[in-house]
Structure 1
């Protein structure tokens, strides 16, 4: 009789192109699929609210898929290593298979687990799959991790083509039954108040939905991706990021499937996948990246402290319509258009002079695609303190950004209905509208919609003066 094997799912919540699952099936052992919820894991970077909602839905989808394939999902809650070892003892499992993830604490944890399993005579086999290239596998000519994206991307894109993604197993041989938590008892979804209505309207988590989203994007979206991706009112984004984060689809599946797209559009799209890889490699090389600036000079930056301004930013009440629409999109849907992430983040750190870590934590709690490497890498990029960062003195003008990328105000009207009737000429600067235009649009500044909480030019001067304290006189 063959002893069972545990397939420990982490952020590889799929059956297709799952090397750990494929290897476990190939072993011939009966399988015990497992997911462990460790509420304490990550410390300050425990799962945010939107991510918890997504995880519930994704686990429900994975559980159904595994059940249909013949091996039910076992759910356990508690400290990861202890929960895993208990299941090994209960079932007599002779092997544990899992896919690697790359947060600093998971790397250390998995090394300890692997040692403990082998000391107990249990085979421990971990696999790549969350990234196209494992951290540390791409280095510059000096043998160091890249700090600039373009040469990193070039090195990644020039690697030999990987093998095609593997299909999902047709059938799974189930191991002995194991006690399992009920997903509902984990309380991953909000109860009162139920703030997830917009998430349910906007998303369908799970492997099947991820594959459908990719197919639809390749059929109808990627051809115009490089032309439309900067316009938030257009459906130009792939919206694959939360599916990628939770491993409902692999980067290899996306990479290979995109080969059918026109060359220019394919390059623009895959470059975004490359940025995701770049951030993951940065985090592996700099484990403190979520909390400390990669540019040490910014440790001396004179950040402001303004709770009222931060609250106005989170609520989409800054008085700058493009910023406010972006922040309301985030709260409503758990997602923000990529260009607007740059505009909204720049507004926080440069117009309001508030620490990038405050914005990073807000995004962590509200994004369904909250990813430690991407989130911290992107915030440091905008703040000017990260690798390959945007210069701090480059300050987005939210009015000009709105006029360029949402000229008719379509996106703003969608998320700020109180401005819906305002003429496009003033939609991104309602304070400049004549009183008659405001009355006709039922807009009362300071009442139905706020006045700007800062003046753009004054805020720009203040930001540059702050930069001068750590850099000397900055460019104007």
Structure 2
């Protein structure tokens, strides 16, 4: 006779503590079988076999496995396509309901709809919950019910709507006896999935409150080791709770809280305007821009060899660590789109492959902001001057010296383009594309 279980399907919520779907599953009155799927639909598209994100996920589920084994349970980890995995699960168990948390990206929507259909035909329930944001979908809209497309009024409404109830943690620890009891099942190794081990130390998931407290004055200076919290990767994969972070931020620093709200703003934009997640400009008229798309110059940008030290430092930091300071992200994105007139989608795709904290909505929002094609974006005539940005945010050149030690040597490349010439060129190109017909 097949065991009766409910399933908790972990995705972007790799933690046992304060997890909405897990809380509801554990209270369901049926033993809860925890699963994770290394989705080959996603993994097969990754160009780098030493992908830092796959290694991060692997480390996170190993940590969860340790906790589950201590509770007499185990995480069942699969490597394959979700439809095939669930077909197998409903054959092996008498599954009553599958619990999971919402995911708002276009592929995730298609995947979840297909899984819901499969489960419905098998007589299995499919329950999903809000977990990775404080407010989702239509929860923060204009008075007429339409979505905001400008951040400041959205953030005001977001803060006005925030009550302690929205930040209350889900007390999963009270119900851990409800996990399905079975002997530990080994997690597939990275090598078995054709990935390599990554020798790096991931950012701590313990939020340093002193960083949050001083965030407003320190966040723009990339040379400061502790100027930013580096929580992006933990929010991306749900190894920390957004409710816990927002609670700390709301009490300590509004600027830090605003960064969390920006994340939700872009999630909301992706939900209401899914075209942005499929390679389309938010502002349709920006599709008319005639990009130069010089492949040689793009490669120099990727390699950190543009001759602009602040740009090169950012790209080298990204290539080496999977991280880039947020101020520098704006500088390098502006440089690619405005100085080199290379389509923002090229930069978006490069970041998508390299960033440890890659998140479709935020990455797209940031790139479209830089290219001026997004919602609430920088106006097209705003072109970051890399020299002035260096003067303001890396005056002592500490960040540049760390990543581009040869910047004053003869072997450092000449600037790929002259700032004044590039600025004139981009303004003319954008103006020509955007002029009324």
Seen in structure 2, the aligned counterparts of structure 1 residues 117 and 385 have a Cα distance that, compared at 3 Å, is same
1:137 alignment partner in structure 2? 139
Seen in structure 2, the aligned counterparts of structure 1 residues 414 and 240 have a Cα distance that, compared at 3 Å, is same
Aligned to 2:7, the other structure's residue is in SS state strand
Q: Are residues 1:469 and 2:432 paired?
A: yes
Whether the 8 Å CA contact 2:215–2:255 is kept in 1: the answer is yes
Encode CA deviations 1:48-89: one digit per residue, 9 max, x unaligned: 933223222222222222222332111112221221231122
Which aligned pairs between 1:364-375 and structure 2 lie closer than 5 A? 364-375=352-363
1:35 alignment partner in structure 2? 36
1:232 alignment partner in structure 2? 222
Deviation at 1:472, TM superposition (A): 3.2
Provide the rounded CA distance (Å) in 2 between the counterparts of 1:60 and 1:176: 17
Whether the 8 Å CA contact 1:4–1:175 is kept in 2: the answer is no
Aligned to 1:417, the other structure's residue is in SS state coil
Whether the 8 Å CA contact 1:35–1:75 is kept in 2: the answer is yes
Whether the 8 Å CA contact 1:301–1:466 is kept in 2: the answer is yes
Provide the rounded CA distance (Å) in 1 between the counterparts of 2:220 and 2:56: 26
1:164 alignment partner in structure 2? 168
1:250 alignment partner in structure 2? 241
Encode CA deviations 1:396-420: one digit per residue, 9 max, x unaligned: 000110011011001111111224x
Provide the rounded CA distance (Å) in 2 between the counterparts of 1:42 and 1:136: 31
1:150 alignment partner in structure 2? 152
The TM-score normalised by the length of structure 1 is 0.85
Encode CA deviations 1:330-379: one digit per residue, 9 max, x unaligned: 11111100010000000000101000000001100010000010111110
Whether the 8 Å CA contact 2:304–2:316 is kept in 1: the answer is yes
Which aligned pairs between 1:9-24 and structure 2 lie closer than 5 A? 9-24=10-25
Gaps of 5+ in 1: 420-429, 431-442
Which aligned pairs between 1:31-430 and structure 2 lie closer than 5 A? 31-41=32-42, 49-161=51-163, 162-169=166-173, 171-172=176-177, 173-175=179-181, 182-187=188-193, 189-190=195-196, 196-197=198-199, 200-201=200-201, 203-204=202-203, 209-210=204-205, 212=206, 214=207, 217-218=208-209, 220-234=210-224, 235-261=226-252, 266-290=253-277, 291-419=279-407, 430=408
Encode CA deviations 1:272-312: one digit per residue, 9 max, x unaligned: 00000010011111212130101111111100121111111
1:459 alignment partner in structure 2? 422
Aligned to 1:93, the other structure's residue is in SS state strand
Whether the 8 Å CA contact 1:42–1:105 is kept in 2: the answer is no
Provide the rounded CA distance (Å) in 2 between the counterparts of 1:284 and 1:68: 38
RMSD, matched Cα? 2.3
Provide the rounded CA distance (Å) in 2 between the counterparts of 1:309 and 1:186: 37
The TM-score normalised by the length of structure 2 is 0.92
Deviation at 1:28, TM superposition (A): 3.0
Whether the 8 Å CA contact 1:31–1:71 is kept in 2: the answer is no
Whether the 8 Å CA contact 1:56–1:189 is kept in 2: the answer is no
Aligned to 2:276, the other structure's residue is in SS state coil
Deviation at 1:236, TM superposition (A): 1.1
Seen in structure 2, the aligned counterparts of structure 1 residues 259 and 188 have a Cα distance that, compared at 3 Å, is farther
Moved more, 241-250 or 25-34: 25-34
Seen in structure 2, the aligned counterparts of structure 1 residues 364 and 120 have a Cα distance that, compared at 3 Å, is same
Aligned to 2:332, the other structure's residue is in SS state helix
